[in-house]
Structures are given as C-alpha cells and as structure tokens.
Amino acid sequence: MPYLPLEKHLPGITGLLEYRKDTAEPIRKLTQTLLRGASTLTEAEREMIAAIVSHNNECRFCTTAHTATADLLLGDRETMQKIKQDIETAPVSEKMKALLIIARQVQKGGKNVTEALVNRAKDAGATDVEIHDTVLIAALFCLYNRYVDGLATVAPNDPAFYETLAKRLVDNGYNRLPGGYDQLKNRIFS
C-alpha cells in the first residue's frame, strides 16, 4: 500500500509522476535529456546504467522496467542478466564495463568512484562527457529508486506490464504523453 493516495492503475513511478506534476516535469526532462538526448552512448547502454543501479538499490519496479527496456533495445534477454551477475565477464565493451563499474560505485556513494576507475574508463576510450553522464544517470536512478520505494509504491508482478512500459519508453521516451498514462491504462491492464 503506497503511503500517498496514488491512482490505483498507476504503479511504481507512474503514480508519483502524476501526483505532483510540477516536480515530475523537470524529472522527466532530465531523464529524457540524459537517456534519450544526443550521446555517444547508445540508448541501450544508458538503460543498462539505469538498470544496474536500480538492481543494486534493490528497487524491483525500476529494475524490472529498465531491464525490460534495455532488453528491448538490445534485442536479447541475456546481456542485462549477465551484467547483473558479473560486469567483468558480461558481453559488453571494455568501455561499458568500466562505466558500469563507475555507476555501481556511485550507487554505493559518490566517494567510491576512484581515480583508478575513471582512468580505466578513459583508457578504454570513454570521453569526459560519457563519464559525466554515467555518474549523473547513476545518481538520478538513486533518486528514482528512493522516490519509488520511499513512498511504498506498488510493483506489479505481471511481466506484461513491464514489457508494455518498456515499449512506451523505447517508442516515446520519458516525456509526458497527452493524458499522462491514461492511454496506457487499457493496454497495461488488458
């Protein structure tokens, strides 16, 4: 049971973003810019960062949503699973390994990002902006995970919910759609 009177058909972050729209708007804009804006990181790579941080924060709603989104963008269900098991042996580039490790350290706390880890990323070809964005995406999902779980929002069990949400995030990104999530209502709960 959420601690706030959220709309029953809007689980996880979706109900919170409709609860207070004036704070939701800059959260959406920041996420859209970081995860869907121009970048030398692919959308799948940026969703991997969101998913691994949510996983390490044990936020079930965000982990399942962003894993489904990364899976859809990648076209497979193994990569994200392997990243969660062990970044070092996962089938991603050396640059992405280094960036995912930085993200994992940010999740624990900012001071855990060492110069050695940043140098590893740079040696693997990461740019300053990629390192900046990795840290900020990781920090943003530390916000999301705490917002979602701190107010005890509901995480649906049905995988179809997350697949529908992932399709929305791939097709439309993070901006608010006209009518909020109303147009997803029937699709999500059909």
Give the shortest CB-146-to-its own copies separation in angstroms: 4
Q: What angle do CA 82, 88, 94 make, to 5 degrees?
A: 105
Nearer to its own copies among residue 143 and residue 160 (C-beta): 143
Residue 23 binds its own copies, judged by CB under 8 A? yes
Give the shortest CB-168-to-its own copies separation in angstroms: 20
**Which pair of structure tokens corresponds to residue 136?**
């900020």
User: With CB under 8 A as the contact rule, which of the stretches 40-48, 68-76, 77-85, 108-116 interacts with its own copies?
Assistant: 108-116
DSSP type of residue 9: T
Give the shortest CB-16-to-its own copies separation in angstroms: 8
174 close to 32: Cβ distance less than 8 angstroms: yes
Binding residue for its own copies (CB under 8 A) from 19, 36, 39, 176?
19
Number of residues interacting with its own copies: please give it, by CB under 8 A: 50
Residue 37 binds its own copies, judged by CB under 8 A? yes
Tell me which long-range contacts 117-121 makes (C-beta under 8 A, separation of at least 24): 121/95
**Which pair of structure tokens corresponds to residue 58?**
């044990």
Residues 6+ apart with CB under 8 A from 7: 15, 18
Binding residue for its own copies (CB under 8 A) from 100, 145, 168, 169?
145
137 close to 103: Cβ distance less than 8 angstroms: yes
162 close to 30: Cβ distance less than 8 angstroms: no
Residue 44 binds its own copies, judged by CB under 8 A? no
Binding residue for its own copies (CB under 8 A) from 106, 165, 169, 188?
106
175 close to 28: Cβ distance less than 8 angstroms: yes
Nearer to its own copies among residue 5 and residue 75 (C-beta): 5
d(CA 6, CA 112): 36
Q: Which residues bind its own copies (CB under 8 A)?
A: 1, 3-5, 16, 19-20, 22-23, 25-27, 29-30, 33-34, 37, 57-59, 102, 105-106, 109-111, 113, 115, 118, 128-129, 131-133, 135-136, 138-140, 142-152
